[in-house]
């Protein structure tokens, strides 16, 4: 049996915690808010972040104490909003058991440093790459919370450790594939959120299938080019974490990024869309970081640049799309 601790009892942290518990592990959730800790520990329910699950498994508990949360953990899963990961993890430095594998579920690029979550987690905890794993795939939390069949990809520089994590989250409704392409998983998961914002925006503004398909396909080309420049394996982009996650996220109102974009497309301002957003829309802070990464690697990022103008300057959906029609003829 494996002891697994999940840092952050948000929607995905809690749903993934349930997967881990269903797979037979003893699961401890760590959260700051006492209401969430008490809810999971005493009532097997996270009414704040995942009310759709009436009764969480009984081999899942919670604590607000950092040292207690991680002291016996074989695997530590980080599911904190990406922009807060560095500051939150700093409090765990020195507490993580030496052989523990630290797994990130987060899909974002850190603003200002433009770093991926593998970089942020390893830097914050003083962790070596062999003990870090990323999990990314088409994993809308509410669907997995209701145990609908789904699959994901676990990436680690050490394939044995990837397999350990994959085994720990394998159930009869959740399947995990493994890879060593951590950079590919990080880039896929983070950049598809920017694409989902743009597709949602087009949908919210009333555009149809052709427009959505154009944004998704050109978005995939953009994230593949940027990912390859960052050192990713191009094959990853054609898999579950790439095309798979784009299909799920860009096609579902369960996605916070899609919904945030749809609200922008309906005419809400960025602040208004944030107010009605239910959970973190990682694409919003990540968009500027993607633009910066494009400049750093010398890779054109027309879609991220257009979405950045929406978020920073408030341009309309029509103007955002016009950015993609600059009159130049290029090879696809």
Ligand X SMILES: NC(=O)C1=CN([C@@H]2O[C@H](COP(=O)(O)OP(=O)(O)OC[C@H]3O[C@@H](n4cnc5c(N)ncnc54)[C@H](OP(=O)(O)O)[C@@H]3O)[C@@H](O)[C@H]2O)C=CC1
Ligand Y SMILES: O=C(CO)COP(=O)(O)O
In a 10 Å sphere around its CB, with 0-12 CB exposed, 13-18 middle and 19+ buried, how is residue 316 labelled? middle
State the maximum Cα–Cα separation within the chain, in Å, rounded to a whole number.
Answer: 62
Is residue 81 involved in binding ligand X (CB under 6 A)?
Answer: yes
* Residue 13 assigned ligand-binding role: yes
Residue 255 marked as a ligand binder: yes
CA-based nearest residue to 264, from 314, 210, 327, 211:
314
Total residues contacting ligand X (rule CB under 6 A)?
A: 28
137 has binding-site annotation: yes
Q: Which two tokens stand for residue 79?
A: 């599911």
Stretch that binds ligand X, among 29-37, 56-64, 170-178, 210-218 (CB under 6 A): 29-37
Cα separations in angstroms, 155 against 112, 246, 251, 257: 25, 18, 25, 23
**Contact status: 250 vs ligand Y (CB under 6 A):** no
Residue 282 found at the interface with ligand X (CB under 6 A) = yes
Q: Which does 257 bind (CB under 5 to 8 A by kind): ligand Y, ligand X, none?
A: ligand Y
- Contact call for residue 79 and ligand X (CB under 6 A): yes
- Structural contact between residues 131 and 118, judged by C-beta atoms closer than 8 angstroms: no
- Contact residue for ligand Y among 190, 255, 263, 286 (CB under 6 A): 255
Residue 192 known to be catalytic: yes
Burial of residue 93 (number of CB atoms within 10 Å: 0-12, 13-18, 19+): exposed
The single residue among 52, 71, 88, 217 that binds ligand X, judged by CB under 6 A, is 88
- Nearer residue to ligand X within complex by CB, 32 or 274: 32
Catalytic residue among 71, 93, 142, 192: 192
Q: Candidates 85, 122, 196, 240: give the one binding ligand Y (CB under 6 A).
A: 196
d(CA 83, CA 110) in angstroms, rounded, equals 6
* Interface residues toward ligand Y, by CB under 6 A: 107, 138-140, 193, 196, 245, 248-249, 255-257, 282
Q: Which residues are catalytic?
A: 192
């Amino acid at each position: 049996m494996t002891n697994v601790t999940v840092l952050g009892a948000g929607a995905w942290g809690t749903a993934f915690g349930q997967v881990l518990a269903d797979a037979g592990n003893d699961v401890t959730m760590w959260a700051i808010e006492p209401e969430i800790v008490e809810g999971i520990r005493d009532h097997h329910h996270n009414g704040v972040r995942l009310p759709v699950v009436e009764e969480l498994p009984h081999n899942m508990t919670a604590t607000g104490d950092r040292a207690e949360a991680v002291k016996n953990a074989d695997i530590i899963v980080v599911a904190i909003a990406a922009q807060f990961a560095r500051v939150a993890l700093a409090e765990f430095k020195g507490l993580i058991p030496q052989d523990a594998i630290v797994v990130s579920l987060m899909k974002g690029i850190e603003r200002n440093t433009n770093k991926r979550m593998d970089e942020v987690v390893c830097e914050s905890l003083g962790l070596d790459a062999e003990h870090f794993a990323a999990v990314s795939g088409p994993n809308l939390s509410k669907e997995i919370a209701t145990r609908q069949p789904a699959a994901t990809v676990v990436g680690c520089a050490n394939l044995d450790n990837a397999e350990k994590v994959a085994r720990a989250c394998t159930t009869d409704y959740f399947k995990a594939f493994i890879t060593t392409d951590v950079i590919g998983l990080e880039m896929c998961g983070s950049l598809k959120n920017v694409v989902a914002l743009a597709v949602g925006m087009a949908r919210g503004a009333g555009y149809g299938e052709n427009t959505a398909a154009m944004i998704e396909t050109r978005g995939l080309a953009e994230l593949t080019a940027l990912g390859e420049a960052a050192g990713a394996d191009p094959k990853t982009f054609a898999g579950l974490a790439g095309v798979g996650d784009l299909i799920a996220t860009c096609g579902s109102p369960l996605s916070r990024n899609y919904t945030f974009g749809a609200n922008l497309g309906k005419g809400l301002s960025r602040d208004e869309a944030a107010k009605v957003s239910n959970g973190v829309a990682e694409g919003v802070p990540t968009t500027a970081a993607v633009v910066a990464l494009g400049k750093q690697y010398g890779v054109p990022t027309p879609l991220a640049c257009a979405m950045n103008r929406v978020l920073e300057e408030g341009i309309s959906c029509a103007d955002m799309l016009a950015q993609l029609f600059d009159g130049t003829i290029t090879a696809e």
